[in-house]
C-alpha cells in the first residue's frame, strides 16, 4: 500500500456539495462512492443525483424494523446501493438536481441513468483492508459519529474520547501519513474524508480524522461499491 | 541601552502597556452573523440564538481540550443546539450496527 493516497488528485472526486438543512448525508455518501466507482469503470467523472435517492429510495434494512431510507429524515448507504442496484442506476446531478426538500414524487427517468451498481459489500474493521479497498476500488462510503464535527475547523481530529454510535454518512477519499498531533509530539496518520456541508465547513469541505483506533467509529461501517461498465 | 554589562537574554519587542485584544462573546457572534449571513426573524429568536452560540463556544473550548490536534471553534453550525444539528445535518439511520445480510468484501493482500 502506498504511504499516502488521495483520490482527489486522481480525478475521482466531484466538488464538495451541500446537503443544506436536510438529513440526507447518507445519499451524498452513496453518490460519492458511486461517482468514484463509475470513474474507475469508465474514466469519466460524473456528478450523480442525491435528489433521486431522496425522492425515490425507500429501501428498508431487512434486519432493522422501521429503518428505511426516508429522504431528509435519514437513511443508510447500503440501502441506497441496494435501491440503485434494483432500480438500474442513478441520473446525473444536472438532470435531477438537488433541492434539499423531501416529500416530492419520484421523477426518475430511466432513459437518463448514467451510472449503475454491479456489486457492493462491507469491509471488515481492519484499517489495512479499508486502505486496500480504497486504493483498489475507489472512494468508500463510511459512517461516523459526528459529535466533534459541529465545531471542527481544521487539522487532524483525534479526540481522546468519542462515541462510536454512528450518525453521519461521509466519503473516505484518501489517507495521509504525517498529520502532526501536538499533544502527543508525533506524526499521526489520518483519513481524508469528504463531507457534504459545503466548502465553508472544515478544510474546504473536508475532514481529517486520525487512523489507528476506530476513532468516532470511522472504521465500523465502511462500504465499497463497483460500477457497471456499459 | 546603556546596560551592556547586564545579561539581557530577552528583548521586549511589544508595547508593555498594551492590553491583549480578546474578543467578547458579542464580538464573536457579530462576526459569525456577518460571515455566514445569519439573520433572525425576531429579537427573541436573536437572543435565543445568542445563548445557543455562547453554549457552543464553551463546547468548542471543551472539544479543543479533548481534541488538541484539530482546531475547534466557530462554524456555520454554532447557533444550533446539538439536537437541531443532529436533525438537520446528520441522518444515518440504524448505522450503529452492521447490516446482517451485507456482503462481506473479500480480504485483499496488503503486503509489499
Instruction: For residue A31, give the H/E element and its range.
Output: helix A25-42
ipTM for the complex shown:
0.92
Of residues A42, A8, A7, the one with CA closest to residue A226: A42
What 3-state DSSP class applies to B27? helix
Task: Tell if the CB–CB gap between A152 and B36 is shorter than 8 Å.
Answer: no
* Residues of chain A positioned with their CB less than 8 A from the CB of B95: 76, 143, 166-167, 169, 221
DSSP structure class, residue A15: P
**To the nearest whole percent, how much of chain B has pLDDT over 70?**
72
Core vs surface per residue A112-140: b (16+ CB within 10 A) or e: ebbbbbeebbbbeeebebbbbbbbebbbb
Position B112 confidence tier, pLDDT thresholds 50, 70, 90: low
**To the nearest whole percent, how much of chain B has pLDDT over 90?**
59
- Name the residue with higher pLDDT: B111 or A71: A71
Residues of chain A whose pLDDT is less than 50? Answer: none
Structure confidence at residue B1 (pLDDT): 47
- Name the residue with higher pLDDT: B12 or A35: A35
Mean pLDDT (whole number) for B107-111: 85
Structure confidence at residue A62 (pLDDT): 72
Interface of B with A (CB under 8 A): 36, 56, 59-60, 63, 66-78, 80, 82, 85-105, 107-110
C-alpha torsion sign, points A82, A198, A215, A185: positive
Amino acid at each position: 500500500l502506498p504511504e499516502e493516497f488521495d483520490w482527489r488528485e486522481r480525478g475521482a472526486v466531484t466538488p464538495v456539495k451541500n446537503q443544506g438543512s436536510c438529513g440526507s448525508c447518507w445519499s451524498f455518501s452513496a453518490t460519492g462512492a458511486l461517482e468514484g466507482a463509475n470513474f474507475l469503470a469508465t474514466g469519466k467523472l460524473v456528478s450523480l443525483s442525491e435528489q433521486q435517492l431522496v425522492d425515490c429510495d425507500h429501501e428498508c434494512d431487512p434486519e432493522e424494523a422501521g429503518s428505511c431510507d426516508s429522504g431528509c429524515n435519514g437513511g443508510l448507504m447500503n440501502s441506497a446501493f441496494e435501491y440503485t442496484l434494483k432500480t438500474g442506476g442513478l441520473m446525473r446531478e444536472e438532470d435531477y438536481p438537488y433541492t434539499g426538500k423531501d416529500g416530492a414524487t419520484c421523477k426518475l427517468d430511466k432513459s437518463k441513468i448514467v451510472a449503475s451498481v454491479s456489486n457492493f459489500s462491507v469491509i471488515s474493521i481492519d484499517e489495512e483492508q479499508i486502505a486496500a479497498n480504497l486504493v483498489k476500488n475507489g472512494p468508500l462510503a463510511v459512517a461516523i459519529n459526528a459529535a466533534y464535527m459541529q465545531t471542527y475547523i481544521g487539522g487532524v481530529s483525534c479526540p481522546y474520547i468519542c462515541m462510536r454510535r454512528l450518525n453521519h454518512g461521509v466519503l473516505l477519499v484518501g489517507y495521509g501519513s504525517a498529520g502532526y498531533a501536538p499533544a502527543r509530539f508525533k506524526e499521526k496518520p489520518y483519513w481524508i474524508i469528504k463531507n457534504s456541508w459545503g466548502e465553508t465547513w472544515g478544510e474546504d469541505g473536508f475532514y481529517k480524522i486520525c487512523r489507528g483506533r476506530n476513532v468516532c467509529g470511522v472504521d465500523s461501517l465502511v462500504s465499497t461499491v463497483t460500477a457497471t461498465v456499459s | 541601552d546603556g546596560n551592556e554589562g547586564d545579561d539581557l537574554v530577552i528583548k521586549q519587542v511589544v508595547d508593555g502597556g498594551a492590553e491583549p485584544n480578546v474578543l467578547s462573546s458579542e464580538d464573536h457572534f457579530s462576526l459569525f452573523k456577518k460571515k455566514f449571513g445569519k439573520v433572525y426573524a425576531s429579537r427573541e429568536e436573536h437572543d435565543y440564538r445568542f445563548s445557543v452560540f455562547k453554549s457552543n463556544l464553551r463546547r468548542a473550548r471543551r472539544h479543543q481540550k479533548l481534541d488538541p490536534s484539530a482546531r475547534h471553534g466557530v462554524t456555520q453550525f454554532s447557533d444550533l443546539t446539538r439536537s437541531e444539528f443532529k436533525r438537520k445535518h446528520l441522518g444515518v439511520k440504524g448505522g450503529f450496527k452492521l447490516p446482517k445480510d451485507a456482503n462481506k468484501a473479500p480480504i485483499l493482500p496488503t503486503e509489499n
